Homo-oligomer: A and B are copies of this chain.
């Protein structure tokens, strides 16, 4: 986690590929004219440009880029410069086969697509280093260049012999002895004991695919390998003389990499967001998207950038739906409301051919500025201009939800109570949504992050307790925190080895119970939770649960709800245990959203959380950002029509947007108070 970055403005821009139009100077000229009209103040340049930057080995062709950066700068437009490692030129794969990725089936890919490279290959690393240094030397001090966009959407894995060697080295460093590895992976099962690190191979559909410890460590290795590659890229940029912030563009709900591990190698978190607006109610999509924004913001707990978004319809989803009028602005400003200092698009000008030629763009194939999309982009530009003083402001959350990549990897691979679907992401969402409906800012953190600052922490389905989590959770509750745990928690340690002696491991006393069995329910099968008469939390309704029902034996916990049927009717379904100054709640089953809504509404009171807006109508999203001097209370309406909301007065004043007792459909209002 490097610098604190504040660009002093809200960035408005996106991916731009002038190298596709070098034979059309008219178009390039027109582009800048259009950018200014739409208040575009940044372009991301050079993504996938390697074949133009180095058309033949060692032969650099940077002139067009220099001219472009200059021209943009003269017109008040900054450049975020990409390193081109997201796709190599054909000559490189032809000459050095090792740069191409080997799949899990052990076949090496042919040239094609993008991201098709080995992160270990010394040749590839050297070629990237030379290119990055050259770019950095050439442009790193240019006043128009403000940051580095390393490669593009890192992802994927390579199983070549070089990577296998690295994996073995990584394992040796982690486990020290092969016996320790054998024990951690329980290799005695099915006679899989290794005599030596050299015997280990990466998982493969043609070989070993069921050794969970191996699978999990392989995924961790892939993340570490990628982090190491990012570090390599960043170092080359630095060695070229540039000290500008580096960033990588992350992706929605991407399982391939644990993004938290990148916290030390990037200066700003940036991500690419392509929600399917209008597929369901916009307010649902907003909730889903909001959670992803919060995941991204919580990695560094600093402002992030929305590095890519689509000004119109994408072209790679199963249906490419147009954004209805107002949607682009609402979606863009939601990012800002959740902590973004930018709204950037893929792409500024639509490419003429190949696989993304129909991806929405600010300027389309028609080429005019009299399009609906261009008008809406301009509106976003104007809004960002108006909000510029919020740049750099931060969000301080009283509530957190734990959403942990490694836990997900382990749990989904584990072959346990349900193989069809465990609904982990959904379980996290239910807690997140319930907090959001109370108007709380929410951090979405992983198990390694601190719990200390929060009043309330939900930790759904923490199947794996990574080392130290039990203590952290104990301390949190003991000191007065409110912790929510659920079914299927504390089952394995961080090598996916089952805890002996009862679960949730290490927190049985904190929760005042032990889990004895867990029932998998068939699709369509349900049970329900019935409130115990006179329960302390005053839960009043019966709620449906499905998928998984944990059967617990309490030992001190108060039973708040019980199951309504099956042989475990009357057994606990929701419990509360007082531990030190705090309370630990245990949700036994996968309850419907309504359960969480009522439960958290009551918890928020118990936890003594401060809120400025008490009644939040459906479809309204409330967030906040703060600077040292000011507090911004942001209210967005994701309903298509106007909605009545009662906003606070007193120190607060309407600072941006229109408010007459209602907020207009898809519109935003910002209240501000001084601190």
Q: Which residues of A contact B (CB under 8 A)?
A: 17, 19-20, 48-52, 55-56, 84, 86-91, 94, 103, 105-107, 109-114, 184-195, 199, 201, 204, 206-213, 279, 312-313, 315-322, 324-325, 350-358, 365-367, 371-373, 414-420, 495-503, 514, 516-523, 566-567
B357–A498 touching, CB < 8 Å: yes
B206–A520 touching, CB < 8 Å: no
Using CB atoms, name the residue of chain B closest to A315: B415
B416–A320 touching, CB < 8 Å: yes
| A97: min CB distance to chain B, Å | 12
A187–B107 touching, CB < 8 Å: no
A522–B319 touching, CB < 8 Å: yes
A48–B415 touching, CB < 8 Å: no
Query: Known: A55-B195, A113-B209. Contact between A356 and B416, CB under 8 A?
Result: no
Q: Specify which of B55, B94, B186, B365 is in contact with A193 (CB 8 Å cutoff).
A: B55
Query: Known: A212-B355, A365-B499, A497-B352. Contact between A419 and B188, CB under 8 A?
Result: no
| A290: min CB distance to chain B, Å | 22
Q: Specify which of B186, B352, B366, B500 is in contact with A354 (CB 8 Å cutoff).
A: B186
Chain B residues with Cβ below 8 Å from A50 are: 191
Q: Specify which of B107, B187, B356 is in contact with A189 (CB 8 Å cutoff).
A: B356
Using CB atoms, name the residue of chain B closest to A91: B195
Chain B residues with Cβ below 8 Å from A106 are: 110
A-B contact pairs, 17 of them (CB 8 A): A20-B189, A84-B191, A90-B195, A105-B107, A110-B206, A113-B207, A187-B354, A189-B351, A189-B354, A190-B355, A211-B354, A211-B355, A279-B522, A325-B567, A355-B415, A356-B415, A358-B415
B415–A189 touching, CB < 8 Å: no
Using CB atoms, name the residue of chain B closest to A373: B517
| A283: min CB distance to chain B, Å | 17
Query: Known: A209-B113, A318-B419, A516-B372. Contact between A352 and B194, CB under 8 A?
Result: no
B109–A354 touching, CB < 8 Å: no
B322–A517 touching, CB < 8 Å: yes
B352–A500 touching, CB < 8 Å: yes
Using CB atoms, name the residue of chain B closest to A202: B110
Using CB atoms, name the residue of chain B closest to A195: B91
Distance in angstroms between the alpha carbons of A109 and B353 in the assembled complex: 34
B321–A522 touching, CB < 8 Å: yes
Using CB atoms, name the residue of chain B closest to A566: B324
Using CB atoms, name the residue of chain B closest to A276: B522
Using CB atoms, name the residue of chain B closest to A19: B188
Distance in angstroms between the alpha carbons of A316 and B420 in the assembled complex: 10
| A114: min CB distance to chain B, Å | 5
A353–B204 touching, CB < 8 Å: no
Distance in angstroms between the alpha carbons of A211 and B315 in the assembled complex: 14
B213–A420 touching, CB < 8 Å: no
B418–A213 touching, CB < 8 Å: no
Chain copies in complex: 3
Distance in angstroms between the alpha carbons of A380 and B351 in the assembled complex: 58
Q: Supply 9 further A-B pairs (C-beta < 8 A) apart from A50-B191, A103-B206, A186-B351.
A: A55-B195, A90-B199, A113-B190, A317-B419, A322-B520, A325-B567, A353-B495, A353-B496, A366-B516
Chain B residues with Cβ below 8 Å from A313 are: 417, 519-520
Distance in angstroms between the alpha carbons of A192 and B353 in the assembled complex: 12
Distance in angstroms between the alpha carbons of A17 and B186 in the assembled complex: 12
B498–A321 touching, CB < 8 Å: no
A204–B319 touching, CB < 8 Å: no
B20–A188 touching, CB < 8 Å: yes
Chain B residues with Cβ below 8 Å from A109 are: 206-207
| A590: min CB distance to chain B, Å | 13
A320–B113 touching, CB < 8 Å: no
| A284: min CB distance to chain B, Å | 14
Chain B residues with Cβ below 8 Å from A519 are: 313, 321-322
Using CB atoms, name the residue of chain B closest to A110: B207
| A424: min CB distance to chain B, Å | 16
Distance in angstroms between the alpha carbons of A442 and B213 in the assembled complex: 47
Q: Specify which of B84, B354, B521, B567 is in contact with A210 (CB 8 Å cutoff).
A: B354
| A450: min CB distance to chain B, Å | 30
A112–B207 touching, CB < 8 Å: yes
| A227: min CB distance to chain B, Å | 24
Distance in angstroms between the alpha carbons of A210 and B357 in the assembled complex: 11
A210–B51 touching, CB < 8 Å: no
Query: Known: A191-B49, A191-B89, A498-B352. Contact between A186 and B521, CB under 8 A?
Result: no
Chain B residues with Cβ below 8 Å from A367 are: 500-501
Chain B residues with Cβ below 8 Å from A86 are: 191
Distance in angstroms between the alpha carbons of A110 and B358 in the assembled complex: 40
Distance in angstroms between the alpha carbons of A185 and B184 in the assembled complex: 52
Distance in angstroms between the alpha carbons of A615 and B653 in the assembled complex: 73
Chain B residues with Cβ below 8 Å from A114 are: 190-191
Chain B residues with Cβ below 8 Å from A420 are: 318-319
Chain B residues with Cβ below 8 Å from A356 are: 189, 415
Distance in angstroms between the alpha carbons of A418 and B191 in the assembled complex: 44
Distance in angstroms between the alpha carbons of A416 and B106 in the assembled complex: 33
B90–A186 touching, CB < 8 Å: no
B190–A48 touching, CB < 8 Å: yes
Chain B residues with Cβ below 8 Å from A209 are: 112-113
Distance in angstroms between the alpha carbons of A114 and B189 in the assembled complex: 10
B213–A354 touching, CB < 8 Å: yes
| A421: min CB distance to chain B, Å | 9
Distance in angstroms between the alpha carbons of A262 and B212 in the assembled complex: 35
Q: Specify which of B110, B279, B366, B496 is in contact with A500 (CB 8 Å cutoff).
A: B366
| A207: min CB distance to chain B, Å | 3
Which 4 residue pairs are nearest across A and B when measured between Cβ atoms? Answer: A186-B353, A110-B207, A112-B208, A112-B207
Q: Specify which of B51, B208, B322, B372 is in contact with A192 (CB 8 Å cutoff).
A: B51
Distance in angstroms between the alpha carbons of A373 and B56 in the assembled complex: 69
Query: Known: A319-B520, A320-B418. Contact between A501 and B366, CB under 8 A?
Result: yes
Chain B residues with Cβ below 8 Å from A353 are: 184-186, 189, 212-213, 495-498
Query: Known: A20-B186, A415-B358, A501-B366. Contact between A90 and B496, CB under 8 A?
Result: no
Distance in angstroms between the alpha carbons of A19 and B87 in the assembled complex: 50
Query: Known: A112-B209, A185-B354, A208-B112. Contact between A51 and B193, CB under 8 A?
Result: yes
